[in-house]
Structure 1
Amino acid sequence: MAQFIAPVATITTRVWGTKATLLIGITLQTAALLGASWASQIWQLFLSQALCFGFGMGMQFSATVGIIPQWFTRRRSLANGIATAGSGIGGLIYSLVTSALIQRLGIGWAFRILAIVSAAACGFAALIVRDRNKAIGAIQIAFHTELLKRPEFLLTLAWGAFSVLGYVALLFSIPGYGSSVGLTPSQGSILGAMFNLGGGLGRPVIGHVSDIFGRLNTALVCTFLAGLFSLVIWIFAKSFGVLIFFALICGPVAATFTTTVAPVAAEVVGLQLLPSALSIFWLSSVTPSTFAEPIALWLRTDKSTNFLHAQIFVGFMFMGACICLLLVRAWKISDVEMARDGRDPINPGAKTEDHNHAVARAEVEKNRNREDAAMDYLIRFSTQHESFRLAEIEALTQLVNNTQNNAVVASFISHSIQAKAIYEVWGRCGDGDYESLHGDVRARSQHLWPRYQDHGVSFKFSIDSYFGKRSTTEQRDIINQFAYFGFQGKVDMKNPQQEWCILEEWDKQPRRIILGRKIASSRRHLVEKHDLKKRPYISTTSMDAELALITATLALASPGKLFLDPFCGTGGFMVAAAELGAVVLGSDIDGRSFRGKGGQGVERGVGRNMKLYGIDALFGDCLTSDLTNTPFRSIGRVRWLDGIISDIPYGVREGLKVLGRRQPAKVEGEQDNGSSLVKEPHMIGGVLAHTLPGYIAPKKPYSFSQLLVDILDFAARTLVDGGRLAFWMPTANENEEGEQEATVRPSHSLLKFKHECVQPFNKWSRRLLVYERIAGELDDDTAHERDAAQKPLVNGTSADELNPFRRRYFQSFAKEPNG
């Protein structure tokens, strides 16, 4: 009756939960014991002890037998063995206590005391027991017909049926066999007690051994030994000592089924289907457990060989069980090998998931082939500079071949500055419900689990809550919900081989949840490495290290390329490009900015920063020049730069300047047209002034709009095909009337506009503009002339007249925050 009620217990557990099922069982069990205490007729005992007690015990057993494997992975069989040892040792104590109570108080009070004690003990256990059915996504179907279509499960059922036939027949035959060979009834009872004692003490040992050598392997060997001991020792045992020895060594291995059924079933069908599988196990055990003893009695017909046929029957039942389990083990080996190769154990020509989870997956999504679809990936960005993300992704696709392969994906993200890491999506849900997440995890990723279940694969789980916070206890409880992955390796929080992250997006409560396996980290650590506070040479206008690195990334800085910053200042952009592997050059109208105070070269200025980061080998040099009068301008049609990056001067503090005099010197006899440069060299002590140390070249005002045209023209003349120009440009967000003002981007016929990324302040912003040299276009003098003809005409001579942004800055929003 206890086994027959298993399907009902499975249903009540699914509908009402484990505690409710246990309370129903405890109520029935208590009522059965109390009813038996007042029974006076046989039908009353049958109703109370056979039906009511059997149903009550079955409800409790079926509801709890699958709980322990849910909480253990590496020591699952040991834990299950310790628990099942209670049935052996507890049964021995129960019988002794019951016998003493009957002798002292009578059978009526013995039943009543047992009812009170069992209700108290089982009730306390029911209150504190915790299952993980929801966490593992347990599928609790009373009679799961899909399992009966799996040959390996049918073989496991046969192992259980043969084991039960052998165990029950052996258990009830040992005391009678002792009497048949001349032992006293008391000695026969001792044999039965020793058999139970051996089973109780041996179950934890068998559980521990199975965790070390494998659950299927241990169950197979123990089942074989039970048959071997029955055929080799029991048949020939005639003395009390030998029979005691047989009872002690055969007790543990004969009870292998009860010790290992849950762990073995979990190996065959998975944790999700374990409750449904056990329900079928107990139901299928009703027939063999009911008829095992009658069969053994029927076989004892010949008085001269009283127990021989029964002994042979027991031995061969265990051997039959061993053969069934041997076939299950062969299936498991094939299943693991096929899963490792990415093949379906049912259809070896196809690629699919581990067959252990095939039925569970079918319950979630029967018609979806996840193996044929590429995995999705999630990039976890930092919370800053949102408008820069798509631009960086586009740049990374140019730096790395854009294919969905984990090695390529890892290389892809390893070039990123804004991202933190990239994850292979194992599951996602948009309603913040973890049950929905677990269902999607099983649908998406069950075929991947076996790859990481090896004992040698260390792992780590973490939680990333965006706009939310979890306590340590909450995090631990959430992480424990994923124990159904079955990972056997060591948890390593510092340096794991594999890492999974639960990413939560909050809006007072979790709104969206994603589980991802970390593929690789980005190089965002460079932001901390290049923190300006740690840099020996900076100025008040040095660009933020993160933005400098992003700029170099969008310009596709990488090893083997040559980059230039024509407004290098203290060299922040050169440092960023060199850090990413490019060879760098720089220039500035004021050589003091890159040389440093009192410097004759760059060793006290930009060179100090390069040496600090160990990238001085990639630093070419810096020279003093402006953008229009620079030796970096190519001669003829030769284009040689892979990238130009810069934070162009805004002209706010002192106005924009370009090399030249406001009033060029006149040469005697020559008419001045107002545009000539100095024709007469400037001498100091008979030495050319510009050759002396510390020489500062004369400068004249420069139009900001002219600067924009000149830098695009310079890029068109010097960038190779596909080379990029990336520079920062300040803009006002409002016009002089306070209205939103659209930004007009400069353009050039030989440069393709790629990206515009905005860093807003209050009433002004600075924008990172990225252009790409049109591939395959040749330098065309007419194109340059046409672009030159489009240069805006700016009238005036003062800094405000030549720079509208400077005028707006001081007139309207110079005192605004961040201004």
Structure 2
Amino acid sequence: MGERAGLRHGEENRLVPPSRISPPHTNSIFCRCLVKVMASNGSRYLFWCSNELTQFRIPEFHALSELFQINLKWVDQNEKMPWIILDLESESQARQILSRSLSVKYCIHLWGSGDGVPKMHEAVKAFPSEFKEPYFLESLSFKVYVEAFMKKLTMAQRVERIETFDYLPIKGPIRMKDPDVIFSYFEYYGDDQNRLDEHPRQAFFGRFIGDGQRHLMSKLSIKTRKFIGNTTMDPLLSLFMANLSLVRPNDLVLDPFVGTGSIPVAAAQFGAFILGSDIDFLVIHAKTRPSRWKQKIRAQDESMKANFQQYGLAAKYLDVVVADSSRPIWARKSILNAIVTDPPYGIRETILKVGTEKKDLVIPEEFLETHYPQKVEYGISDVFYDLLNFGAESLCERGRLAFWLPVNREEYSEERLPRHPNLVLKFNVEQVLSCHTSRRLLVMEKVTTKEGGRAVPQEAIPDFRDSIQSAYALDKKDRKERIKKFGHLNLNGKCSDTNKTADL
């Protein structure tokens, strides 16, 4: 296919990942065939995924299928592979998933795949012609995108692979920038850089559908954000939390441990109206010491609201207030669509609530107006059980509560997770911090309202600070044994296969 394939000899590598394009609407024959393709049952779509935070991939697909009411038919579901293949009812369902997914880089309508290149070509040739021919018209410009997983291809190798599809009767002109149609070819050589096969283990070919939402990571990057703090959450994690919480446009979302507002920003990005609270007056009002290197004082215009203005989300910002989460100020009515938060663990931030250790404290009336209440330590078990009780009262039916729970990996047991009779666990996803500690994103859904239902602890949640201290107190021999069992430090979720999706 040479130049016919959309890649000219001598050109620089201009085959960047496919950009967002829409199918042309000018050709009536094309439109009629496209409707036929989109209405057909049994269409397979390959979602090429990022290799970052892979433990969120399957839960995110389940959440988005519920969000858009898509019946998922899994063809290839494997967290260790860089792709997911689904049997969908229409192309529009694939586009709905792409409109929210952070796991997916891009998606193709799969025309053929196989264990090796020859079998892939056989599958492409056998793919029904009525699905292929609408994209071979003379009026449609095209290009071919080539990618290999775990192998870098030269320009000559890319051209060589494109030439193997010369049996496709493509008639349209080549256009490297904004073509009407993009054909995508992928090769998979394995996932171990030291043990790669000489030839592709698997190959895929199809028509490009669209991109996922990974560009939001750059848009919401902490590096360029106006107001951040020591515990500002990574935007990718915040966006995953919003997806697993089924945050929809015009939802009302609360973060009761709002900090610098990274999680509400993600919720607002998906169209929700946000509220927040935090007991730390200085953080809420951007009066803390700057977190950026070499920054001595905060700028006068730094604020949480400034972040929303920066991203064009000011209309979604309702308000944040200084408040004690152990004594919620919010009305205990079922009005919240989601509560999405990251409670403090007592490591880089203190866990405090309003209170005093003095008995029978009486404040003279003349001092009440200017009195600032004292604070005492807020036990980590109380933090989570108060959060569950508040969520069970304040969430609307089918509303979701999402929060991070720090755990000692050696002592972790699902039976010891905090529970509430009105909430069911939907997702339990682990983010490994070290070989002995991790945190789990727990997503719960309100399914019923039982009068007087309370989250009564079976046993106290272990203090995360004690777990860290005891782990680092181990001698060298015990530490080696621990690593042998739980893996090495900072392996981004690969130490053990402990992620679970519940009640799906």
Where 1:409 maps in the other structure, the secondary structure is helix
Alpha-carbon offset, residue 633 of structure 1: 4.1
Within 2, Cα distance between the matches of 1:486 and 1:641? 55
1:807 aligned to which of 440, 450, 466 = 466
Instruction: Assess if the C-alpha contact under 8 Å between 2:4 and 2:174 holds in 1.
Output: no
Instruction: Show structure 2 runs of 5+ residues with no match.
Output: 6-26, 71-87, 191-195, 289-296, 475-487, 492-504
Distance 1:809 1:560, change over 3 A: same
The C-alpha deviation readout for 1:192-215, integer Å capped at 9, x for no partner, is: xxxxxxxxxxxxxxxxxxxxxxxx
The C-alpha deviation readout for 1:222-267, integer Å capped at 9, x for no partner, is: xxxxxxxxxxxxxxxxxxxxxxxxxxxxxxxxxxxxxxxxxxxxxx
- The equivalences for 1:23-38 within 5 A come to none
Within 2, Cα distance between the matches of 1:807 and 1:595? 31
Greater fraction of residues in strand: 2
Aligned residue number for residue 369 of structure 2: 688
Within 1, Cα distance between the matches of 2:357 and 2:407? 28
Matched, 1:424 2:104: no
2:330 aligned to which of 625, 629, 632 = 632
Distance 1:466 1:814, change over 3 A: farther
Alpha-carbon offset, residue 810 of structure 1: 2.0
Aligned residue number for residue 658 of structure 1: 353
Aligned residue number for residue 645 of structure 1: 340
- The equivalences for 1:427-506 within 5 A come to 427-430=112-115, 432=116, 434-506=117-189
Alpha-carbon offset, residue 72 of structure 1: 8.7
Matched, 1:753 2:425: yes
Alpha-carbon offset, residue 448 of structure 1: 1.9
- The equivalences for 1:718-733 within 5 A come to 718-733=394-409
Aligned residue number for residue 514 of structure 1: 204
- The equivalences for 1:148-547 within 5 A come to 374-402=42-70, 404-430=89-115, 432=116, 434-507=117-190, 508-509=196-197, 510-547=200-237
Within 2, Cα distance between the matches of 1:337 and 1:583? 41
Within 1, Cα distance between the matches of 2:311 and 2:134? 39
Alpha-carbon offset, residue 727 of structure 1: 0.8
Where 1:769 maps in the other structure, the secondary structure is strand
Within 1, Cα distance between the matches of 2:366 and 2:463? 34
Instruction: Assess if the C-alpha contact under 8 Å between 2:43 and 2:90 holds in 1.
Output: no
Aligned residue number for residue 552 of structure 1: 242
Distance 1:577 1:451, change over 3 A: same
Instruction: Assess if the C-alpha contact under 8 Å between 1:449 and 1:485 holds in 2.
Output: no
- The equivalences for 1:646-795 within 5 A come to 646-653=341-348, 655-667=350-362, 680=364, 683=367, 688-690=369-371, 697-735=373-411, 741-743=412-414, 744-762=416-434, 763-774=436-447, 777-781=448-452, 783-784=453-454, 787=455, 790-791=456-457
Within 2, Cα distance between the matches of 1:543 and 1:73? 47
The C-alpha deviation readout for 1:704-736, integer Å capped at 9, x for no partner, is: 11211111111100011111111111111125x
Which structure has more relative contact order (CA 8 Å, sep 6+)? It is 2
The one-letter amino acid of 2:417's match is: R
> Which stretches of structure 1, 4 residues or more, deviate above 4 A after TM superposition?
70-74, 336-343, 679-682, 814-819
Within 1, Cα distance between the matches of 2:246 and 2:281? 27
Within 2, Cα distance between the matches of 1:502 and 1:525? 22
Distance 1:792 1:806, change over 3 A: farther
Distance 1:473 1:460, change over 3 A: same
Alpha-carbon offset, residue 589 of structure 1: 0.9
The one-letter amino acid of 2:410's match is: E
Instruction: Assess if the C-alpha contact under 8 Å between 1:646 and 1:726 holds in 2.
Output: yes
Within 1, Cα distance between the matches of 2:40 and 2:103? 32
Alpha-carbon offset, residue 480 of structure 1: 2.0
Larger radius of gyration: 1
Where 1:502 maps in the other structure, the secondary structure is strand
Distance 1:665 1:372, change over 3 A: closer
Alpha-carbon offset, residue 426 of structure 1: 0.5
The C-alpha deviation readout for 1:653-706, integer Å capped at 9, x for no partner, is: 465211111225534xxxxxxxxxxx65572xxx7125xxxx5x4211122112
Distance 1:454 1:639, change over 3 A: same
* Structure 2 length-normalised TM: 0.77
Within 2, Cα distance between the matches of 1:342 and 1:652? 59
Instruction: Assess if the C-alpha contact under 8 Å between 2:245 and 2:443 holds in 1.
Output: yes
Alpha-carbon offset, residue 489 of structure 1: 1.8
Where 1:484 maps in the other structure, the secondary structure is coil
Instruction: Assess if the C-alpha contact under 8 Å between 1:429 and 1:512 holds in 2.
Output: yes
Within 1, Cα distance between the matches of 2:366 and 2:356? 12
The C-alpha deviation readout for 1:445-468, integer Å capped at 9, x for no partner, is: 432222012222121211121112
Distance 1:779 1:515, change over 3 A: same
Greater fraction of residues in helix: 1
Query: More deviation in 419-428 or 697-706?
Result: 697-706
The one-letter amino acid of 1:767's match is: R
Where 2:167 maps in the other structure, the secondary structure is helix
The one-letter amino acid of 1:382's match is: S
Within 2, Cα distance between the matches of 1:583 and 1:813? 42
The one-letter amino acid of 2:351's match is: L
Within 1, Cα distance between the matches of 2:31 and 2:311? 44
Instruction: Assess if the C-alpha contact under 8 Å between 2:284 and 2:322 holds in 1.
Output: no
Alpha-carbon offset, residue 571 of structure 1: 0.4
* Structure 1 length-normalised TM: 0.48
Alpha-carbon offset, residue 534 of structure 1: 0.8
Alpha-carbon offset, residue 770 of structure 1: 0.5
Instruction: Show structure 1 runs of 5+ residues with no match.
Output: 1-69, 75-335, 344-350, 353-370, 668-678, 736-740, 795-801
Instruction: Assess if the C-alpha contact under 8 Å between 1:709 and 1:746 holds in 2.
Output: yes
Matched, 1:581 2:271: yes
Identity across the alignment (%): 30
Within 2, Cα distance between the matches of 1:470 and 1:639? 55
Where 1:483 maps in the other structure, the secondary structure is coil
Distance 1:570 1:422, change over 3 A: same
Aligned residue number for residue 616 of structure 1: 314
Within 2, Cα distance between the matches of 1:814 and 1:492? 62
Aligned residue number for residue 295 of structure 1: none
Instruction: Assess if the C-alpha contact under 8 Å between 1:427 and 1:515 holds in 2.
Output: yes
The one-letter amino acid of 2:385's match is: V
Q: How many residue pairs are counted as aligned between the two chains? A: 419
Within 1, Cα distance between the matches of 2:243 and 2:170? 38
Distance 1:339 1:417, change over 3 A: closer
Within 2, Cα distance between the matches of 1:654 and 1:340? 57
